Amino acid sequence: MVAGTHGNEINGPWLLDQWRQHPNFVDSKGLDVQLAIGNPAACAQGRRYLDRDLNRSFRSDLLERASTVPAEADREMLQALALLQQFGPEGQTPCDLVVDLHSTTSAMGNCLVVYGRRPVDLALAALVQHRLGLPIYLHEADAAQQGFLAERWPCGLVIEVGPVPQNVRRSDIVLQTRLALEALMAAITSVRDGTARYPDQVVIHRHLGSLDVPRRRSGDPDALVHPNLQGRDWQPLKAGDPLFINAESKAAVFEGEDGLIPVFINEAAYAEKAIALSFTKREAWPLPKDWKEALANLLG
Ligand SMILES: [Zn+2]
């Protein structure tokens, strides 16, 4: 269980800290859980990261280079290696599964993030979705965004909760995180004792791409997220819907396919990544038997 992978997302770390002090604060269903702060140095400074985004640092080529020439590695690269040495599949206290707790400034409520299409991740996410009805954001095939922590463990999910500003603690955000975490651990327990009840299908929001705010040649933003779009994460768009508005009240409109669904609208952390929102497509996938078997084999 990792929190504080981003040092300015402080609700997850508070939850872990309280869980350590009060073991009954979170119902772990008897699972053997290791708690870790992802990026303690960034947390101490209230910054997302020091040298580079830790949650984009788990690319095998980067990890290999950092372990070969540690003297030249960024601090986050060394931290990524340290986490793997401690908790990775070959680590000192190896974990089969990682849950990474994040928060967003976007009005997305609770969701699960899955990276790629590993059967074990999708089967587990489907069980949690069946319990809580959470949306699942499937992040894949984005060359600009790779190297996520959750991908380095045999099974890995992110719990994303919002909206909450960076460096602000809120009881409702902690509660939402705890409920998602408990549902996830209950799902794991149900797989282990053979009582898992899977839905017929898993509903995913598949990442298609991202859009930046319009910019001048200097790189400065030339428009704002349109007020009709702000806070409307998960609500389908139609061609012609306004996305951005400039100082002359002129709107830039959505020109994509009807029904695409925006997420991470105006996420504070993504401004530096030149992302004003991402587009997803809602799809319902059947749950093949071998996905469930793969999860049972991993957790059994
Ligand atoms: Zn984060």
Phi and psi angles of residue 149, each rounded to the nearest 5 degrees, phi first: -55, -50
CA of 247 to the centre of ligand 1 (A): 31
Interval between CA 32 and ligand 1 midpoint (Å): 24
Where does the pLDDT of residue 264 fall: very low under 50, low under 70, confident under 90, or very high at 90 and above? Answer: very high
pLDDT at 191: 97
Q: How far is the CA of 104 from the centre of ligand 1 (A)?
A: 7
pLDDT of 112 reads 98
Q: How far is the C-alpha of 223 from the C-alpha of 169, rounded, in Å?
A: 30
Q: Which of 263, 277, 268, 279 is nearest to 108 (CA)?
A: 263
By C-alpha distance, which of 191, 40, 163 is closest to 107? 163
Ligand 1 geometric centre to CA of 8 (Å): 8
Q: How many angstroms is it from 12 CA to the middle of ligand 1?
A: 10
Burial class (CB within 10 angstroms; exposed 0-12, middle 13-18, buried 19+) of 201? middle
Q: Specify the pLDDT at position 143.
A: 78
Q: Which two tokens stand for residue 29?
A: 């269903």
Q: Rounded mean pLDDT of 61-87?
A: 96
**Cα 98–chain centre separation:** 12
The pLDDT of residue 144 is: 78
> At residue 117, does pLDDT exceed 90?
yes
For residue 179, give Cα distances in angstroms to 47, 132, 184, 185, 191: 26, 9, 9, 10, 19
Q: Look at residue 150 and tell me whether its pLDDT is greater than 80.
A: yes
Pairing of strands 136-139, 201-211: parallel
Closest CA to 75 of 119, 98, 43: 43
Q: What is the pTM of this model?
A: 0.96
Is 145 in contact with 273 (CB distance < 8 Å)? yes
Chain mean pLDDT for the chain:
96
CA of 102 to the centre of ligand 1 (A): 4
For the chain, how many residues are written? 300
Q: Which two tokens stand for residue 125?
A: 């996410």
User: Residue 276's pLDDT band (boundaries 50, 70, 90)?
Assistant: very high
pLDDT at 133: 95
> What contacts 24+ positions apart, CB below 8 Å, involve 127-131?
127/187, 127/190, 127/191, 127/196, 127/197, 127/198, 128/157, 128/180, 128/183, 128/184, 128/187, 129/199, 129/202, 129/203, 130/197, 130/198, 130/199, 131/183, 131/186, 131/187
Give the tens place of pLDDT for each residue, 154-189: 999 999 999 999 999 999 999 999 999 999 999 999
Please say if the pLDDT value at position 259 is more than 90. Answer: yes
pLDDT at 48 over 90: yes
Query: If you measure from the C-alpha of residue 3 to the centroid of ligand 1, how many angstroms do you get, rounded to a whole number?
Result: 9
Give the mean pLDDT of 201-230.
96
- Determine how β-strand 224-225 pairs with β-strand 97-103: unpaired
Residue 300 pLDDT level (bands cut at 50, 70, 90):
confident
Calculate how far, in angstroms, residue 283's C-alpha sits from the geometric centre of ligand 1: 25
Q: State the pLDDT at residue 145.
A: 81
Give the 3-state secondary structure percentages of the chain, helix then strand then coil, rounded to 5. Answer: 35, 20, 45
